[in-house]
Structure 1
Amino acid sequence: MWETSARLLRLLSLLQTPRDWSGAELAERLGVDGRTVRRDIDKLRGLGYPVNATPGVPGYRLGAGVKMPPLLLDDEEAVAVTVGLRTAAGGGVAGIEEASLRALGKLEQLLPSRLRHRVAGLNAVITAMPGGSVVDPDVLAAVASATHAHEQLRFDYAGRDGASTRRRTEPHRLVHSGRHWYLLAWDLDREDWRNFRVDRLSLRVPAEGGLSSHRALFAGPKFSPRELPEDPGLHVSRGISTGVYRYQGEFLLRVPLAVAAVEISPTVGALEAVDEGSCLLRAGSNSLDELALYVALFGFPFEVIGPPELVARVGELAEMLTTAAAPRS
């Protein structure tokens, strides 16, 4: 059972979460009975914290507008924050690495020794994979603000061939693949969903404006969000892994989704669960041979669903390999 002072800090930490807590939930988290919870709530109120009771089933929420105490983190939260800061320090958003390292250093100094050793062990083995794009944090913040506010975005976009085109879009979601930031948006001129790498965007800002305010200086009129036919992450994964290639293959993998996801990056193939023991893989390539061998080298049992020319080519390759492996007389 928690000592009274430690229990009050833990209770205050729980109440900072933006949700309603029932008395029973708080009692279970703190390892006490309901009466003790009610007494502790009264103590917090006596210290000036406005703990509001919700009507109906008894519930509690910390009121707004009060000066909060220093951030309270439990063990799991502290580890999650430090790992997140370490990952951010590995790159991906220009200029944020140094700030992340400063924040990480401050947080690690405040951790108790048991957590400091645990976090140090994690930091010692975490490293970022090179090759990802670096995004201007002002551009990322500006795109996020317009997306959240449902405001049209106008920008110049550099394609794979380096050619720049002007785009008018309704931004829908920001998706991070682990290597690049993508904007999923409805292209107003092409009347279709498109994926845009954020590091290739040049926002159209009036001459008198800048990116310092992140909003209104470049954003267009408000719009009503369209309904995307599938999960945004899956849509972007499918677009960047198949849409840009000549051939788009579809494979049924006879392994659970979680097993396949360990080996197959979302930037090279889109995975979708079929049942507990299998999943669907969609991947693209400009070569049928490369596409077939790419999937085969994972070592998973699989079936080729399509397209027909890929099914035929896999059959030819299988026959060639069987002949090559046949014992010679």
Structure 2
Amino acid sequence: MTQDLPGRMLRLLSLLQTRRTWTGDELATRLGVTLRTIRRDIDRLRDLGYPVDGTTGTAGGYRLAAGADLPPLLLDDDEAVAIAVALRTATSGVAGIEETAARALAKLEQVLPVRLRHQVATFQAAAPLPVPWSTGPTADPTALALLAAACRDHELVTFAYRRGSGETGRYRVEPHALVAADPVWYLVAYDTGHDEWRLFRVDRLTDPAPTGHRVPPRELPAPDAAAYVAGRLAAAPARYTLHATVPADAATVRARTYSLPGRVHPLDDHTSTLDLAADNPHHIAEQLLGIDLGPDDTIHGTPELAPHLEQSAQRLLRAARALTRPDENRSSQDTAHGGSNENGVGHR
């Protein structure tokens, strides 16, 4: 049992859980013991059921491998609270994540010390349940885990992929990173079959399989994976487009239209250009609700988008007219519906 281990072995186990591979010399230096002592402690961990693998060669060392059972994890106070809070608020675009997170949280809370359980309970009282707004596509958590490991280990993977057109093909890629652009998860990877960087939606990806072949990491043609995803999404072709000049600074326009950085460009401190693109015209209509557009001659785009924007405007106009009917009509309706909302809460 964990409590029977001496303090040094607990520290050794903690180190093994924080990094994939440690050399014997590194562990000996960290713990202030000899290499021979490290070897004995590793053998003791193995006797207790911890699957510690040993490798040889210039890059050899020790690592905590996957076993039949999950070994006890050593967490400090901040790590335990952070995990509990993350589990409580897990509503990302991963299939079944809410139910799985609830089960994991229940197990974690059972073993939390009283002082930490109180912190988690305080947070839960202030934020009892997350609101699951997103109803978009969800990714398979097993596929995410496999791809995350492949990104970490720079291991080639293969999978079947369904493109937006409906066509399906198999790919062999060098995975680089996973990026969540709510609610969609994307895999940034180098496509070895076409010799180019690609973006793959994980919800369209099936049968991922590691190949066991590792390669040196490639340099991504962007500052980081998130910037690469944002740039590719901004440049992606779409059925409907709209370009406009907006009398507001770029930060304000991005915030009010929920646009990717590449869609908004500043002209000066008070004016920006906005480029919107979507296959669903209602998405563009929704983005335009939060801003005022500039002169008519600065607005350009897909002519087929116009009737959809007009329909959205008519719906809003009808709602506005209904709210401005004579006072006596409003009063009778308020009475019929039990008066106004005392809490003043607006609903999405």
Tell me the TM-score normalized by structure 2.
Answer: 0.52
Match in the other structure for 2:168: 164
Secondary structure at the aligned position of 1:124 is classed as: coil
Aligned 8 A contact 1:242 1:283 in 2: no
Match in the other structure for 1:261: 255
- The superposition leaves residues 214-257 of structure 1 with CA deviations (integer Å, 9 ceiling, x where unpaired) of x44xx555254133234321332343355031465566763463
CA RMSD of aligned residues (A): 4.9
Aligned 8 A contact 1:195 1:236 in 2: yes
Secondary structure at the aligned position of 2:131 is classed as: coil
Which of 83, 86, 97 is the equivalent residue of 1:84?
86
Which of 291, 305, 310 is the equivalent residue of 1:299?
291
Return the alpha-carbon distance in structure 2 between the equivalents of residues 128 and 199 of structure 1: 18
- The superposition leaves residues 265-323 of structure 1 with CA deviations (integer Å, 9 ceiling, x where unpaired) of 65xx7567869888775531369x978755542226679999x9549999xx9xxx9xx
Unaligned ranges ≥5, structure 2? 1-10, 19-29, 33-40, 46-71, 314-348
Secondary structure at the aligned position of 2:128 is classed as: helix
Aligned 8 A contact 1:169 1:185 in 2: yes
Return the alpha-carbon distance in structure 1 between the equivalents of residues 134 and 284 of structure 2: 27
Match in the other structure for 1:227: 220
Return the alpha-carbon distance in structure 2 between the equivalents of residues 310 and 291 of structure 1: 15
Relative to structure 1, is the Cα distance of residues 69 and 277 closer, same or farther in structure 2, using a 3 angstrom cutoff?
farther
Return the alpha-carbon distance in structure 2 between the equivalents of residues 259 and 198 of structure 1: 29
Secondary structure at the aligned position of 1:199 is classed as: helix
Match in the other structure for 2:68: none
Q: Does 1:102 align with 2:103?
A: yes
Tell me the TM-score normalized by structure 1.
Answer: 0.55
Tell me by how many angstroms 1:179 deviates: 0.9
Tell me by how many angstroms 1:177 deviates: 1.3
Aligned 8 A contact 2:242 2:277 in 1: yes
Secondary structure at the aligned position of 2:103 is classed as: helix
Task: Give the AA of the match of 2:161.
Answer: Y
Aligned length: 245
Match in the other structure for 1:119: 123
Relative to structure 1, is the Cα distance of residues 290 and 202 closer, same or farther in structure 2, using a 3 angstrom cutoff?
closer
Relative to structure 1, is the Cα distance of residues 246 and 134 closer, same or farther in structure 2, using a 3 angstrom cutoff?
closer
Return the alpha-carbon distance in structure 2 between the equivalents of residues 172 and 304 of structure 1: 44
Return the alpha-carbon distance in structure 2 between the equivalents of residues 91 and 292 of structure 1: 23
Relative to structure 1, is the Cα distance of residues 263 and 285 closer, same or farther in structure 2, using a 3 angstrom cutoff?
closer
Which of 176, 182, 186 is the equivalent residue of 2:180?
176
Unaligned ranges ≥5, structure 1? 1-11, 19-49, 53-63, 206-214, 322-329
Return the alpha-carbon distance in structure 2 between the equivalents of residues 147 and 167 of structure 1: 16
Task: Give the AA of the match of 1:146.
Answer: A
- The superposition leaves residues 83-117 of structure 1 with CA deviations (integer Å, 9 ceiling, x where unpaired) of 311233x3633455444212322444535475244
Task: Give the AA of the match of 1:229.
Answer: A
